[in-house]
């Protein structure tokens, strides 16, 4: 017999999914058969598998240790090769954490609770892997939780925390990460429904004195990994929308605050370039000569785009603590220094 108590990070999923995560090598037909025969119970009662789990629920398996080990259950038999692979994976996460943490700093955790974490992503670090050798914010997150004792090889088999809102490599600022299944689902839902409001600041070329909106269609060019902006839907494309207001209207450069109403790849970068006010330092949509000049004058590296504010909607339920919460992260001082230059 084996008993498992549902943890905070495992709640809000169906019992059948929970069992599949805990016993990944077990056929679904086997699990449902065991449920029907009451060889697997929930809180001491017969279950169908469709029940939504709560923290503290007790799942009992009236199965032999050999059977549980065969299907990959916790503390089941693990051969030396698999154990070595798991340990190597954990070590890679810890290496990523230690490599990136110095750039994040002690005050880089902007908010944390049992379900989500908000961190200040440094410029130059990927949110997610582009190649197998990359060490990204995803790996940093897993290493951070392992270092704190909140994750291990078994818990990561059942649920793997991850980055929720992706920022480009050379964009810094607020990155939201899920720590639990409930957090991952709710953040994904809010991002999909656009009820989380995301604001960015950008230092741009030229003088911008009035706010406004940019609306149109983006067409992705897979060959160049860029997007093209058009006002009409001719040829397809994705509808995009950005609102902006000037914070500093400089003689040479301006500082804008923008709300990302839709969220498409390179949306802000392409929208501002289409306005004639490309982001300073942007290698794909910016002005090459201007970028070279500010690199020479200010030693700038990377594009001057920063996620500065996240606003959550009114919420009930398990994530009520996030209801109408605002997370702030000011961009580096160089943003105001450059745009204030005459």
pLDDT at 82: 65
Could you give the residue range(s) of every CATH 3.10.290.10 domain in the chain? 2-70
Domain 197-339 has CATH 3.30.2350.10: yes
pLDDT at 172: 96
**Strand intervals (E) in the chain:** 2-5, 40-42, 45-46, 58-61, 109-112, 116-121, 162-163, 172-178, 197-205, 212-221, 226-230, 238-249, 253-260, 305-311, 326-328
pLDDT at 88: 87
| 80-193: CATH number | 3.30.2350.10
**Cβ pair 281, 301 in contact under 8 A:** yes
pLDDT at 255: 97
Low pLDDT (below 50) residues in the chain: 77
- SS3 (DSSP) at 177: strand
Burial 205-218 (b: 16+ CB within 10 A, else e): bbebeeeeebebbb
pLDDT at 74: 59
DSSP symbols for 46-67: E--S-PBP-TT-EEEE-S-HHH
CATH topology for the 2-70 domain? 3.10.290
pLDDT at 69: 84
Could you give the residue range(s) of every CATH 3.30.2350.10 domain in the chain? 80-193, 197-339
pLDDT at 80: 60
pLDDT at 259: 97
């Amino acid at each position: 017999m084996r008993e498992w108590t549902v943890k905070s990070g495992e709640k809000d999923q169906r019992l059948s999914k929970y069992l599949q995560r805990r016993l990944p090598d077990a056929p679904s037909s086997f699990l449902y058969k065991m449920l029907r025969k009451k060889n697997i119970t929930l809180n001491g009662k017969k279950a169908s598998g469709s029940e939504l789990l709560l923290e503290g629920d007790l799942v009992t398996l009236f199965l032999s240790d050999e059977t549980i080990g065969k299907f990959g259950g916790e503390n089941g038999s693990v051969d030396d090769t698999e154990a070595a692979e798991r340990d190597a994976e954990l070590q890679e996460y810890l290496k990523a954490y230690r490599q990136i943490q110095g750039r994040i700093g002690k005050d880089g955790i902007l908010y944390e609770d049992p379900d989500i974490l908000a961190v200040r992503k440094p410029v130059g670090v990927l949110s997610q892997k582009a190649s197998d050798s990359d060490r990204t914010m995803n790996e940093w997150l897993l290493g951070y939780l392992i270092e704190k004792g909140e994750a291990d090889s078994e818990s990561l088999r059942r649920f793997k925390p991850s980055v929720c809102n992706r920022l480009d490599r050379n964009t810094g600022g607020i990155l939201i990460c899920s720590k639990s299944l409930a957090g991952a689902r709710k953040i994904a839902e809010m991002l999909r429904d656009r009820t989380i409001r995301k604001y960015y600041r950008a230092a741009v070329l030229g003088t911008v004195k009035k706010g406004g909106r940019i609306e149109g269609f983006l067409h992705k060019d897979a060959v160049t990994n860029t997007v093209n902006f058009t006002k009409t839907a001719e040829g397809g494309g994705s509808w995009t929308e950005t609102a902006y207001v000037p914070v500093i209207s400089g003689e040479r450069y301006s500082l804008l605050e923008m709300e990302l109403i839709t969220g498409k790849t390179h949306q802000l970068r392409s929208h501002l370039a289409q306005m004639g006010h490309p982001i300073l330092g942007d290698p794909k949509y910016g002005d090459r000569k201007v970028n070279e000049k500010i690199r020479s004058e200010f030693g700038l590296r990377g594009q001057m785009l920063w996620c500065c504010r996240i606003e959550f909607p009114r919420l009930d339920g398990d994530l009520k603590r996030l209801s109408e919460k605002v997370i702030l992260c000011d961009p580096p001082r160089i943003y105001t220094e450059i745009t204030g230059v005459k």
